[in-house]
Structure 1
Amino acid sequence: MIRLKHIAFVFLISIWRATTQTINEMNEEYGVYLGEFTGPNVQGKVYVVNETTLQILNFTYNDPSRETYFWLDDESQPTEKGVKIPTREYGPAPIGQYENQHAILNLPGFHKVHRFKSFSLYSKKQLPIAVIPIPSDIQPPKSHIIGEELAGIRYNTASGPIQIIDRKTIKIFAFRFEGNKAPDGVFIVGNGSTVELGKSRKVPIRGKDTENNVESMTEKYDGSRDIILDLPTGIDVYNIDWLAVYCIKFRVNYANVWIKDIPTTIPPHVAPFEPLNLSVPGKWDKAVIIGETNHTNLTFQLGDPGQTKGYSALRSQYPGDYVWYVNGYMAPDIYMKRGVTYNLIVEGGKDRAQLTFNNPLYLSEDPHGAFDRLTDEEKAHIRIASQPKAGVAGRMCSWSHDEGDSNEDAFGSFLEFRNHLKLKCENPSESQAILTFTPSANTSNILYYHSMNNFNMGGMIYIVDDLPAHLNSSPEIPYKYEDWVHSEDNFHSYTSFAQAVNYSSYIYSFCILLLLRFL
């Protein structure tokens, strides 16, 4: 039986230590304590999880208007030469509001925490908001290689080194197991001096199993790849004695290693990133556009991102003021076929005085966009797939609602919401811009469409050899400005006519009643 009392005791101790932490002290539950953000608009305790990860507990920040970033610097005070840390919630964009949240920050590139002198909330326009010094002798938690490898005589069960990544994550290098021949086989962990099924818990393989559904390995593992194991709830590396590959059907231990002498400086476990708003009740359906040979013209306009049911739920990103509407739909998935030429008609504005309305369209492999607002270091890691590299900008057309009408979550679907919006084009006579794109055999399987100047506006493009037969494009809806204005004029003409007919009928009925009264 797993030592549950030990787990409860460690948990209570970790809470007590978190409230009495000293700078540069290791906390098994959270990491090395770095310091605390304090101020009228910011609060939170900062811990070093490992040499490339920070976490902030109970983080609150409520002044997002200042274009603020998480920042590392070689100096004791932040400078423009420092390193911006992207966030899971906002990507490389300025951070928005946080309210008593758990923020996890992964350092970009090959940066390591111990190489910097300060960590801060930094606004280029209004200087540092809060700064925490990084001790020169800081020692971030580190992973650990155990002294054994899997080595069994049945079904070629073996491995390379076994790494304890953090308290709940184990990596097995070069795993070998003939699952295609074995009667069954799963990973289990447990306590005691012998491997016994009755004292064990099944362990899921990341990407294959879930904690509640661990299935037998049925494929052949030939040592050409590594696997990662996620220990189940209530278990970490400090309260197990062994890890085994085990046949449950015949109660056979194929191979095992002993988990012992684990250093106390193993990194704490931080939950894998979960996309935002996946559980939003009634979130709108995501639209799909299939780029068939008769469907190669795509019009990109600006549009309202909606509230909790809108872009943030569809794309798991926090948007800015506008997002891309493609052929009238909010940030749809687009399928393009290799070898087919597509015309992307751009109506996102080119106002150089207001970046919100200056949106050159481009395609790239990163999910957040705003290439022109990235640092040189960030740009070096991004490949732009379309030409020209600077994107293409055209007249500005946008879908928006009347001022003061903001209860967007009241709409049951995107189409209901879209039908409530009005399409407006500044200078309708101004010419559109066209970005021509032909995906080739060398084009990545997944691209994203973006604005050069604004983060989190777009969606995904799937590049395929054959368009999916099981999917259909979302229904055609009016989106071209001239057609939409014409349909609106017809609607208003019909409404005026209907009102006139109703009024005439009322007068006619009134006259008949009046005549009858005097007969």
Structure 2
Amino acid sequence: MDTLLPIIALIVLAAPHQAHSQRYSERTKYGRLVGEFKEYAHGIKGTVYVVDESTLFIKGFAYDGTGPDAFFWVGNQTRPSPEGEIVPYPKDYKGREPPILPAISNADIILRLPFPKRIRDIKWLAVWCRRFTVNFGDVFIRPDLDIPKTKVLPEFKRLAHGLRSGNISILDAKTFYIPNLHYDGAGPDAYFWVGNGSEPSEFGFKVPNERGSLEPLRGYQGEDIEIQLPNNLTVYDIQWLAMWCVQYRHNFGHVMIPPNLDVPPALGQTKITTTSTTQDPLQMPKMTNCNVLLKDRLQVQWEMHGNEVQVQLSGRITINQYMAFGISGESGKSEMIGSDVVVAFYDKDQKEFRAVDYHITKYAQCDGAEGVCPDERIGGKNDAMVISGEQRDGVITITYKRPLQTRDGNKDKSIPSDSDVNVIAAIGPLNSRKEANAHNADDRTIGDLRIDFSSKHDHQCATTLSEKIEGPVLKPWDPLKIEGTKEFTARIGPTGGKRGYIPITGHPSWGIAWYINDLLIPEITVERGETYIFKVEGGFDRTNPAKYHPFYITDSSEGGFGQKTTREQLRQRVFAGVGYDSEGNPYPNSAGRYCEWVHKTIDQSANEETFQSFTKTLRLDCENGEPAILNWTVAANTPNIVYYQCYTHNNLGWKIRVTGASAGLSSATPLYTTSAAVLVHLLVLALNR
């Protein structure tokens, strides 16, 4: 059956929204149509669309590039004029002034209006020559144009594992923005999950996390993240977004997606810089060339694309450090003085990755004229543009691009397109200005290092620093025991990751387990003939499976009696916590209010050497109500080992060791501690199924 689920999910996903998707396909996938450029000179062509309140998209743009001072130009005058304003191209250019518009042939272009300007503030888009005040081509924007807008949804429904968030936004047809996300990270197989229907189900699809990874979700502590629907899936194809445990088929929380959305198309235009600094290295741009700069600490990967080079630096650095790489200041020798380098780092205040073009004239901090200076501080331009960034497992990786040739005078070195060149690299601390500070002698490249930026398969790295690093083997906590006690509380709590439930039991974990007298799955010792009281606080809300955990005692090390077939139920022996109605159907009778030990932040089990210290990272949350009371008198024929378990879920409990005189078990002893009539009824049900 499980092998059919992806196929069934695809059918279920597609069917309910077929008409909805058809309505979407009838609208342009590029946004609201503005019109075609009217061409006056230099071969201006292209179809213009409004994507959202601050973004334009030009389909098939063309320009011959021969204008001496041409830019994209917008304004609110009746026609293009010198009173207009430049629209930066590329859209993410961060220098003082965008470069002059180059020759472009049939390219798709995204333009973001300069902040705080919006589409409603402009009447036209033009290609304008500033020097000669000439309009090469324009298109006019209707004042009544209906602009696609971001859709704000409610927060995640809070069902399990501390899941909560702020109001979720649909930024575009493929992108969700989830602010202030909290999740304890204790679900064993949890993913962002989408599908159709009135509520989440196993018929859905995984959505990569904010790193672009399909690994089980980590914990979140109030982070703002973005996730994107995979493949060709759009928000017009789904009815809910959830956090879902695939292995146990449980919903930790979800939000419904309304019909008749009118959100911006997914063209990469509405991404928000999030507070998450972790990305999946497998999703970073792939390079065909790699070289080790500092052993086990700094590597560079690169590729040349036309008149640009794309560079990826990976360094074992902190967020208070930088990594620098660039062209030597002296031909035929790797020399720092006179060099042209890019300093890359994570700006924790601005919460963004940065790549800054530097010119180095002295072994000193920049004084505004000389030293280790950003080009922009000494009258130049920043010709490096960040493409992407990540922080993972102690490694910061930043990808940027820069032109082979720049117009920045003697501050920038040319990168040869057909031969190798000497390079230098270093890592070091940032100063209070977020500029490169002095590095240690062993934190820079030694000797002459040469790189051919035009090479195709120069791969001298055995591994990449950004490959996933397996942490140290975690020592399991010592198993806990309870002896000489006749009264117990039974509550829910986290499993303790790789130190707790899994190594103790050898069973898979759902992410929660029973806490008996506030101890994680202790081994309990009882005596035959004695009566024991369990105050059960596993939740009584049947409509929320994530918080419905009736308690029972069985000879099954797995539990989950209520989810088993009749034949499977017949293989378990039940000693307490299960009743039977007049027709012999089983039901749980020990649930009570819901009490759970929850993480104060995220799961800290990997950092805590003992369970006792781990408990300091937890807090107890209890809902209103009373506990259920389970009285259990241990029969003389009870086996030496039984288990306390959850009626509705597998693998939440552990052992009860039974001592004292035993009456033994004969072949005539029934499997159930229930009446012969019930047993016969169950056997009939089993035979009929």
TM-score (normalised: structure 2): 0.43
* 2:35 is the counterpart of 1:45: no
Q: Which residue of 2 aligns with 1:268?
A: 265
Q: How does 1:16-31 map to 2 (within 5 A)?
A: 27-31=27-31
Counterpart amino acid of residue 55 in structure 2: T
Q: CA RMSD in A?
A: 4.6
Q: Which residue of 2 aligns with 1:201?
A: 205
Q: How does 1:32-71 map to 2 (within 5 A)?
A: 32-39=32-39, 41-71=43-73
* 2:250 is the counterpart of 1:227: no
Q: Which residue of 2 aligns with 1:382?
A: none
Once residues 158 and 380 of structure 2 are traced to their aligned partners in structure 1, the CA distance between those partners, rounded to angstroms, is 43
Counterpart amino acid of residue 266 in structure 1: V
* 2:144 is the counterpart of 1:171: no
Q: Which residue of 2 aligns with 1:333?
A: 342
The Cα shift of 1:261 comes to 2.2
Which of 52, 74, 77 matches 1:75?
77
Instruction: Find the residue that maps to 1:114 and give its secondary structure.
Output: helix
Aligned CA distance change for structure 1 residues 254 and 281 (closer, same or farther; 3 Å): closer
Once residues 226 and 412 of structure 2 are traced to their aligned partners in structure 1, the CA distance between those partners, rounded to angstroms, is 46
Counterpart amino acid of residue 71 in structure 1: W
Once residues 162 and 412 of structure 2 are traced to their aligned partners in structure 1, the CA distance between those partners, rounded to angstroms, is 62
Instruction: Find the residue that maps to 1:414 and give its secondary structure.
Output: strand
* 2:449 is the counterpart of 1:442: no
Deviations 1:474-516 (CA, angstroms, capped at 9, x unpaired): 7279xxxxxxxxxxxxxxxxxxxxxxxxxxxxxxxxxxxxxxx
The Cα shift of 1:237 comes to 0.6
Report if aligned partners of 1:72, 1:116 keep a CA contact under 8 Å in 2.
Answer: yes
* 2:199 is the counterpart of 1:190: no
Counterpart amino acid of residue 175 in structure 1: L
Aligned CA distance change for structure 1 residues 195 and 333 (closer, same or farther; 3 Å): same
Once residues 412 and 437 of structure 2 are traced to their aligned partners in structure 1, the CA distance between those partners, rounded to angstroms, is 30
| Residue ranges of structure 2 left out of the alignment (5+ in a row) | 1-8, 272-284, 295-302, 314-325, 345-357, 385-407, 451-689
Once residues 268 and 167 of structure 2 are traced to their aligned partners in structure 1, the CA distance between those partners, rounded to angstroms, is 24
The Cα shift of 1:57 comes to 0.6
Which of 145, 155, 158 matches 1:149?
155
Counterpart amino acid of residue 333 in structure 1: V
Deviations 1:179-203 (CA, angstroms, capped at 9, x unpaired): 1x33342111012234222x21111
Which of 226, 239, 242 matches 2:240?
242
Counterpart amino acid of residue 36 in structure 1: E
Once residues 431 and 412 of structure 2 are traced to their aligned partners in structure 1, the CA distance between those partners, rounded to angstroms, is 35
The Cα shift of 1:281 comes to 6.5
Report if aligned partners of 2:194, 2:206 keep a CA contact under 8 Å in 1.
Answer: yes
Aligned CA distance change for structure 1 residues 165 and 363 (closer, same or farther; 3 Å): farther
Deviations 1:277-321 (CA, angstroms, capped at 9, x unpaired): x77867x97999xxxxxxxxxxxxxxxxx98476544599xxxxx
Q: Which residue of 2 aligns with 1:380?
A: none
Once residues 53 and 334 of structure 1 are traced to their aligned partners in structure 2, the CA distance between those partners, rounded to angstroms, is 30
Deviations 1:37-78 (CA, angstroms, capped at 9, x unpaired): 243511110101001111101111113443210111121222
Which of 369, 377, 393 matches 1:362?
377
Q: Which residue of 2 aligns with 1:375?
A: none
Once residues 151 and 12 of structure 1 are traced to their aligned partners in structure 2, the CA distance between those partners, rounded to angstroms, is 29
Counterpart amino acid of residue 432 in structure 2: N
The Cα shift of 1:259 comes to 1.4
Report if aligned partners of 1:150, 1:157 keep a CA contact under 8 Å in 2.
Answer: yes
Instruction: Find the residue that maps to 2:120 and give its secondary structure.
Output: helix
Once residues 73 and 91 of structure 2 are traced to their aligned partners in structure 1, the CA distance between those partners, rounded to angstroms, is 16
Once residues 216 and 144 of structure 2 are traced to their aligned partners in structure 1, the CA distance between those partners, rounded to angstroms, is 46
Report if aligned partners of 2:293, 2:445 keep a CA contact under 8 Å in 1.
Answer: no
Deviations 1:200-222 (CA, angstroms, capped at 9, x unpaired): 1111222x2x2xx3112222x23
Counterpart amino acid of residue 187 in structure 2: A
Aligned CA distance change for structure 1 residues 399 and 117 (closer, same or farther; 3 Å): closer
Which of 132, 143, 162 matches 2:139?
132
Instruction: Find the residue that maps to 2:255 and give its secondary structure.
Output: strand
Which of 445, 466, 477 matches 1:472?
445
Which of 87, 111, 133 matches 2:117?
111
Once residues 93 and 464 of structure 1 are traced to their aligned partners in structure 2, the CA distance between those partners, rounded to angstroms, is 30
Instruction: Find the residue that maps to 1:174 and give its secondary structure.
Output: strand
Report if aligned partners of 1:280, 1:308 keep a CA contact under 8 Å in 2.
Answer: no
Counterpart amino acid of residue 475 in structure 1: D
TM-score (normalised: structure 1): 0.56
Once residues 398 and 229 of structure 1 are traced to their aligned partners in structure 2, the CA distance between those partners, rounded to angstroms, is 38
Relative contact order: is structure 1 or structure 2 higher (C-alpha 8 Å, sep ≥ 6)? Answer: 1
Q: How does 1:283-362 map to 2 (within 5 A)?
A: 308=305, 311-314=308-311, 326-328=329-331, 331-334=340-343, 341-342=364-365, 362=377
Counterpart amino acid of residue 433 in structure 2: T
Aligned CA distance change for structure 1 residues 345 and 52 (closer, same or farther; 3 Å): closer
Counterpart amino acid of residue 36 in structure 2: E
Instruction: Find the residue that maps to 2:146 and give its secondary structure.
Output: coil
Aligned CA distance change for structure 1 residues 113 and 439 (closer, same or farther; 3 Å): same
Counterpart amino acid of residue 248 in structure 1: V
Instruction: Find the residue that maps to 2:377 and give its secondary structure.
Output: strand
Once residues 443 and 328 of structure 2 are traced to their aligned partners in structure 1, the CA distance between those partners, rounded to angstroms, is 24
Report if aligned partners of 2:34, 2:48 keep a CA contact under 8 Å in 1.
Answer: yes
Q: Which residue of 1 aligns with 2:669?
A: none
Aligned CA distance change for structure 1 residues 227 and 51 (closer, same or farther; 3 Å): same
The Cα shift of 1:110 comes to 0.9
The Cα shift of 1:260 comes to 2.0
Q: Which residue of 2 aligns with 1:252?
A: 250
Once residues 94 and 100 of structure 1 are traced to their aligned partners in structure 2, the CA distance between those partners, rounded to angstroms, is 18
Give the structure with the higher percent helix. 1
Once residues 88 and 429 of structure 2 are traced to their aligned partners in structure 1, the CA distance between those partners, rounded to angstroms, is 29
Q: Which residue of 1 aligns with 2:103?
A: 97
Once residues 368 and 327 of structure 2 are traced to their aligned partners in structure 1, the CA distance between those partners, rounded to angstroms, is 12
Deviations 1:124-143 (CA, angstroms, capped at 9, x unpaired): 12311111112122232101
Runs in 1 of length 4+ with deviation above 6 angstroms? 5-15, 278-282, 284-288, 343-347, 396-401
Once residues 109 and 471 of structure 1 are traced to their aligned partners in structure 2, the CA distance between those partners, rounded to angstroms, is 39
Once residues 269 and 235 of structure 2 are traced to their aligned partners in structure 1, the CA distance between those partners, rounded to angstroms, is 18
Instruction: Find the residue that maps to 2:79 and give its secondary structure.
Output: coil
Report if aligned partners of 1:74, 1:82 keep a CA contact under 8 Å in 2.
Answer: yes
Deviations 1:146-185 (CA, angstroms, capped at 9, x unpaired): 2x32122321112221111111011122222111x33342
| Residue ranges of structure 1 left out of the alignment (5+ in a row) | 18-26, 289-305, 317-322, 348-358, 370-392, 402-407, 419-437, 448-462, 478-519
Identity of aligned residues (%): 22
Once residues 327 and 83 of structure 2 are traced to their aligned partners in structure 1, the CA distance between those partners, rounded to angstroms, is 32
Report if aligned partners of 2:88, 2:113 keep a CA contact under 8 Å in 1.
Answer: yes
Aligned CA distance change for structure 1 residues 439 and 257 (closer, same or farther; 3 Å): closer
Aligned CA distance change for structure 1 residues 99 and 247 (closer, same or farther; 3 Å): same
**Which 10-residue stretch deviates more, 129-138 or 467-476?**
467-476
How many residues align structurally?
A: 348
Give the structure with the higher percent strand. 2
Aligned CA distance change for structure 1 residues 473 and 99 (closer, same or farther; 3 Å): farther
Report if aligned partners of 2:368, 2:378 keep a CA contact under 8 Å in 1.
Answer: no
Report if aligned partners of 2:429, 2:439 keep a CA contact under 8 Å in 1.
Answer: no
Counterpart amino acid of residue 124 in structure 2: S
Once residues 23 and 60 of structure 2 are traced to their aligned partners in structure 1, the CA distance between those partners, rounded to angstroms, is 18
